[in-house]
Homo-oligomer: A and B are copies of this chain.
């Protein structure tokens, strides 16, 4: 982690001092076998093409726009390295909603129930391969109500690199569950995205203090490559 952190603009020095005094934020490190999670990177969270937020939400109300397309570039780099080392890749994603899926979500965010088919597609830059695990989910965490933990145990993964959208929603809740399961977690801060920069930053800070090592994609690539080379 470098001196300039993504949350510098919003987390004050006094807040940082408090967490430091409380003993939070120590690095948890990595294990030996990483898995890449690409969460909800679908046109519904990106928009149909790179464009500012205000235009992207005309494609889908759930779209984040340009920040998503920038993160997609970083995710593409991570994916290439995982494929090169033959490390497992999983795609937790939102499947089209059925009437019986409303629940508390349908009350809290009604617009989410009505997204066109195209919105659920995954862009070709990060197209899933036949051996990748496709994991439809109904709830924020990729672990909740899915067999993700079973897949990770089967794949013998001990370290998760978590990417995608949104930083404050599905990414964060997946990271919290991964931490609770005692997986090591890396969050590349430029490979996750959100519709609000402040929310994005504070959630990165929270994850970095309590649940995960928050690093740049460059640093994550170096760590993963080290594991892959050491393994080979």
Residues of A within 8 A of B (CB): 10-12, 15, 18-19, 21-29, 53-54, 57, 61-62, 98-100, 102-105, 107-112, 130-134, 138-141, 144-151, 153-154, 156, 158, 168-169, 173, 176-177, 179-185, 195-199, 202-203, 205-206, 210-211
Contact = CB atoms under 8 A, between A and B. Distances in A.
Nearest to A109: B24
B145 A104 contact: no
A57 B169 contact: no
A22 B195 contact: yes
Which of A62, A108, A151, A203 is the most central at the interface, judged by chain B CB atoms within 10 Å of its CB?
A108
A57 B144 contact: no
A121 B202 CA distance: 31
Contacts of A53: 18
B181 A149 contact: yes
Contacts of A23: 61, 109-112
Contacts of A148: 145
B108 A21 contact: no
30 contacts: A10-B198, A15-B195, A15-B197, A15-B199, A18-B53, A18-B195, A22-B57, A22-B111, A23-B110, A23-B111, A24-B109, A26-B110, A28-B107, A28-B108, A98-B134, A99-B130, A100-B132, A103-B150, A103-B151, A103-B182, A104-B211, A108-B179, A108-B211, A139-B180, A140-B180, A141-B176, A144-B180, A153-B158, A153-B181, A169-B206
